[in-house]
Amino acid sequence: MINILKKIIYTGIVTEKYDGGPVPPRFRGEVVVDNKGCTDCQVCATVCPTKAIVITGGEMSINHNACIFCGRCVEHCESQQIRHSDHYKLATLSGRLGDHTGKLLKERIRSIFGRSLHIRHVDVGSCNACDFEMNALSNPIYDLQQYGIDFVPAPRHADMLMVTGVVTRNLTQALLMTYEATPNPKIVMAVGACAASGQVFGSSYAVRGAVDELVPVDIYVPGCPPRPQALLYGLLLAIDKL
Amino acid sequence: MEYREMTAYDLASQAKAVCSDGKYNLTAMFANDERSMNGCFSIYCIFAGEGIFKAFKAMLSSEEKLEFPSLTPSFPSAAWYEREIHDLFGLVPIGHPDLRRLVLHENWPLGLYPLRKDFVMDMYVPEADTPYPMAHVHGEGMFEVPVGPIHAGIIEPGHFRFSQSGEQIINVDAKLFFTHRGIEKGVEGLSIELAAYRAERICGACSVSHALSYAQAIETMAHIHIPRRAEYIRTLVAELERLYNHVGDIGNLCAGLGFSVGTSHGSRLKELLMRLNERVTGNRFLRGMVIPGGVSYDITPEISQEIQKGVERLASEFVDLMGLLHHNSAFVDRVNHTGILTRHAALDLGVVGVAGRASGIDRDLRRDHAYSIYESLKFTVPVQTGGDVDARLWIRIAEVEQSLQMIRQILTDMPDSQGTLQVPIPEIKPYSSGLGYSESARGSNLHWLMIGENNKIYRYVVRSASYANWPAVTVASPGNIIPDFPLINKSFELCYACLDR
């Protein structure tokens, strides 16, 4: 017992501000494109493993929800117009929290959840990387509970579903039933490239696609997987606590 | 790769003959639709032993009845392989004791086999309600506890059906393959480079191991050797992967018995390693480093120094954490004699990795089938005989120490940079096949590939460590109380994603 106390006191407080952790130089964040020097060779679109790059009328656009941040487009761009920045706060709001919802209603939803947000995790076909990063949120460094946010064991206790993975055929029923079981008002977060885009493993007999093809999604958090800081950013954005 | 060819009818007897002296064991079994080449379905069996792999190719003409004598009565480890072949190819193993579905669930209609070549990738498959019976135990006072696929914690999906007599588990039946993404079919027709990204994403916690197995399979087929420095870097990230997995698993084991101080310290140490990973490869799961033909990034002197610093810090803190566990009687009481997997059962089921070594099976691909630079590293393979949660825990602890030592050796011995860290992949002879393998934190990961025209994937098979070990969880659990199941399950620490693919 005395050793346990000693270890706790010696370790001290390790909790960081949500975005306080370092971003290492090799980190591959947001894909930034300088269209000015683009020669329209379209190589980036053909080499992208998840078809996240679309070129329309010479303008190239990146769907960050589908991006796995592999760096292949950066490597293959002949005119060196593409690079990764260190920006990882890429979460976007949609659905009930998106632009088309009235300001008052949105504020009301956020104020209800802002006091305390309870989350249920639903793995609908993940590779477990996103799941492990969600687990990391509870470690003493991120300490999710300090924001009034916590994971709960059952959808009936939850305000939010954090969904990881591409929806598989075998988990479709589980996703729909979990969504049904969650009381209203509820919000859904699509965590990572699989959940947000459904494009990571292409189309196959076993895959249905992105989460928003089955249930409405309110927050998209890109990444493969999103680092814990990016997840925290998404959560705090959703409940207006940034 | 060389195969001993035979008819499917002879497979069972030939397999028995090759394993009769106990030196070889069945380590993978899968089918391939080769009707366009030779009018046959082929069933491949891979046996490991004496530092080499022996491979059988058993042909089954599509003109005949699609049946073959089952291996399962002689090789219990073939049970799941044959169920999967039955599901995905529609070949029937005659004499199999349990031909329930495995990979496909109720929603899949009868008579449709997705891994046959005439099954078009985007084909519309109607919803079905095919029976998927679970095992039951009948008797006075017996009841069932269904758990999953959505669990209470942040865990991957699987369904467990416990047959209980009070607290005692009498039987557990597992329904898995919920996260089956059809990766093997999905990569067919893709280029080697693009398929590599999917191979790396089969599982998060085994990203390096899968990328490595895949890359080595390609390099074997292409008859190329990657630069020596690249081999060192690969081994470095492979050991970093083992390290963060083992440290995280040891911490997580504390969560299985409510020892939150251990959980907190374990997760804090894991975070330290994850950040180091991000520093080394730009991704916390070490993704993007291992590619077919080499590695993407060099280890600069600064990064080497940081790894060294991180590793030494971990080493000293890890000792503290172990002290907390070792001297905690509540902890010791829960892990000792819990979830025993006997050596006999482990051998029969072909259990690999940590779980095998904890049950007295002294096997490790890094030593027995040395790949990459493992031959020139000094390390020992820890073995325990208890087969319980405690034994699996102490194997992990001993392996953490070994990994730390290996990382130190790699950083000291790494040859200087000779320019490139990648070699191009030449045109591979169409319809040649090859095996790639690596030892992940969970055990051996085998990847088998057949390349078609223009360096496109024709068939991809993944036999992960979790695939070999999952059946053991249901064998180790009966006789224990149900509150110990999470602990037993965590001590095996199997990935559902690796298994389901």
> Where is pLDDT greater, at B225 or B258?
B225
CB A98 within 8 A of CB A90: no
Same domain? For A177 and A100 the reply is yes
CB B453 within 8 A of CB B429: no
Boundaries of domain holding B335: 191-465
B155-169: pLDDT as tens digits: 899 999 999 999 999
Same domain? For B453 and B349 the reply is yes
Same domain? For B160 and B99 the reply is no
Same domain? For A40 and A159 the reply is no
B8-22: pLDDT as tens digits: 889 899 898 888 888
| Res A39: pLDDT | 77
Residue with tokens 């070792």: B326
Assess if residue B487 is contained within a domain. Answer: no
Same domain? For B55 and B158 the reply is no
pLDDT at A241 over 80: no
| Res A121: pLDDT | 94
CB B178 within 8 A of CB B101: no
Same domain? For B207 and B281 the reply is yes
| Res B145: pLDDT | 92
Assess if residue B121 is contained within a domain. Answer: yes
A172 interaction partners in chain B (CB closer than 8 Å): 107
The whole-number average pLDDT for the span A112-123 is 86
Same domain? For A225 and A154 the reply is yes
pLDDT at B237 over 90: yes
Same domain? For A107 and A171 the reply is yes
Q: What is the ipTM of this complex?
A: 0.91
Question: By three-state DSSP, how is residue B19 classified?
Answer: helix
Same domain? For A77 and A120 the reply is no
Considering only CB atoms, B198 lies closest to which of A125, A201, A203, namely A201
Q: Which amino acid is at B303?
A: I
Residue-averaged pLDDT of chain A: 88
Confidence of residue A77 (pLDDT cuts 50, 70, 90): confident
> Where is pLDDT greater, at A60 or B481?
B481
The whole-number average pLDDT for the span A140-144 is 92
Contacts of A152 (CB under 8 A, 6+ apart): A118, A119, A120, A158
B348-384: pLDDT as tens digits: 999 999 999 999 999 999 999 989 899 999 999 999 9
Selection from B134, B158, B132, B129 nearest residue B144 by Cα: B134
Question: By three-state DSSP, how is residue B122 classified?
Answer: coil
The whole-number average pLDDT for the span B181-208 is 93
Verify whether the Cβ–Cβ distance B204 to A69 is below 8 Å. no
Residue of A nearest to B200 (CA): A127
Could you give the maximum distance between any two Cα atoms of chain A, in Å? 69
pLDDT at B219 over 90: yes
Assess if residue A17 is contained within a domain. Answer: no
Q: Which amino acid is at B460?
A: Y
Interchain CB contact of B300 with A (< 8 Å): no
Assess if residue B483 is contained within a domain. Answer: no
| Res B410: pLDDT | 94
Assess if residue B491 is contained within a domain. Answer: no
Q: Which of A6-10, A38-42, B65-69, B460-464 has the lowest mean pLDDT?
A: A38-42
Confidence of residue A34 (pLDDT cuts 50, 70, 90): confident
> What string of H, E and C letters represents the secondary structure of B36-57?
HHHCEEEEEEEEEECCEEEEEE
Give the integer Cα–Cα distance in Å for B18 and B52.
13
A172-222: pLDDT as tens digits: 999 999 999 999 888 999 999 999 999 999 888 999 999 999 999 999 999
| Res A181: pLDDT | 94
Considering only CB atoms, B180 lies closest to which of A120, A121, A206, namely A206
Paired tokens of A137: 């949120």
Paired tokens of A47: 């080499």
Q: Please count the other Cβ atoms lying within 10 Å of the Cβ belonging to residue A186.
A: 20
Residue of A nearest to B112 (CA): A205
The whole-number average pLDDT for the span B259-272 is 90
In percent, the amount of chain B with pLDDT more than 70 equals 100
Judged by CB atoms within 8 Å, which residues 210-269 of B form the interface with A?
Answer: 248, 261, 264-265, 267-268
Same domain? For A121 and A75 the reply is no
pLDDT at B199 over 80: yes
Give the CATH number for residue A46. 3.30.70.20
Same domain? For A42 and A103 the reply is no
B406-426 in b/e form (b: 16+ CB < 10 A) is bbebbbeebeeeeeebebebe
Q: Where are the beta strands (DSSP E) in B3-80?
A: 4-7, 25-34, 40-49, 52-61, 67-69
pLDDT at B419 over 90: no
pLDDT at A37 over 80: no
Same domain? For A99 and A168 the reply is yes
| Res B382: pLDDT | 94
Same domain? For B157 and B253 the reply is no
Assess if residue A21 is contained within a domain. Answer: no
Residues recorded for chain A: 242
Pairing outcome for strands A207-209 and A167-168: antiparallel
Verify whether the Cβ–Cβ distance B178 to A227 is below 8 Å. no
Same domain? For B204 and B86 the reply is no
Same domain? For A54 and A135 the reply is no
Same domain? For B295 and B442 the reply is yes
Q: To the nearest whole angstrom, how far is the Cα of B73 from the nearest Cα of chain A?
A: 30
A127 interaction partners in chain B (CB closer than 8 Å): 201-204, 497
Assess if residue B137 is contained within a domain. Answer: no
Q: Give the total number of structural domains in chain B.
A: 3
Q: Give the total number of structural domains in chain A.
A: 2
Verify whether the Cβ–Cβ distance B204 to A26 is below 8 Å. no
Give the CATH number for residue B207. 1.10.645.10
> Where is pLDDT greater, at B102 or A115?
B102
Residue of A nearest to B297 (CA): A26
| Res A45: pLDDT | 87
| Res A1: pLDDT | 75
B104-155: pLDDT as tens digits: 998 999 989 999 999 988 788 888 888 888 988 988 989 999 998 988 888 8
pLDDT at A40 over 80: no
Residue-averaged pLDDT of chain B: 91
Boundaries of domain holding A193: 92-238
Assess if residue A172 is contained within a domain. Answer: yes
Assess if residue A11 is contained within a domain. Answer: no
Residues recorded for chain B: 501
Testing the interface with B: which of A7, A10, A70, A128 to mutate, by most B Cβ within 10 A?
A128
Give the integer Cα–Cα distance in Å for B501 and B496.
8
B421-450: pLDDT as tens digits: 899 999 999 999 999 999 999 999 999 999
Give the integer Cα–Cα distance in Å for A184 and B404.
50
| Res A33: pLDDT | 85
Same domain? For A144 and A192 the reply is yes
| Res A44: pLDDT | 86
| Res A99: pLDDT | 73
B374-401: pLDDT as tens digits: 999 999 999 999 999 999 999 999 999 9
Considering only CB atoms, A201 lies closest to which of B186, B265, B285, namely B186
CB A234 within 8 A of CB A91: yes
Assess if residue A22 is contained within a domain. Answer: no
Provide φ and ψ at A107, rounded to 5°.
-60, -40
Assess if residue B369 is contained within a domain. Answer: yes
CB B395 within 8 A of CB B257: no
Q: Which of A155-159, B54-58, B121-125, B386-390 has the lowest mean pLDDT?
A: B121-125
Assess if residue B85 is contained within a domain. Answer: yes
Assess if residue A20 is contained within a domain. Answer: no
Q: To the nearest whole angstrom, how far is the Cα of B160 from the nearest Cα of chain A?
A: 15
Same domain? For A114 and A229 the reply is yes
Considering only CB atoms, A127 lies closest to which of B122, B180, B201, namely B201
pLDDT at B462 over 90: yes
Same domain? For A51 and A162 the reply is no
CB B249 within 8 A of CB B243: no
Same domain? For B234 and B295 the reply is yes
Question: By three-state DSSP, how is residue B297 classified?
Answer: coil
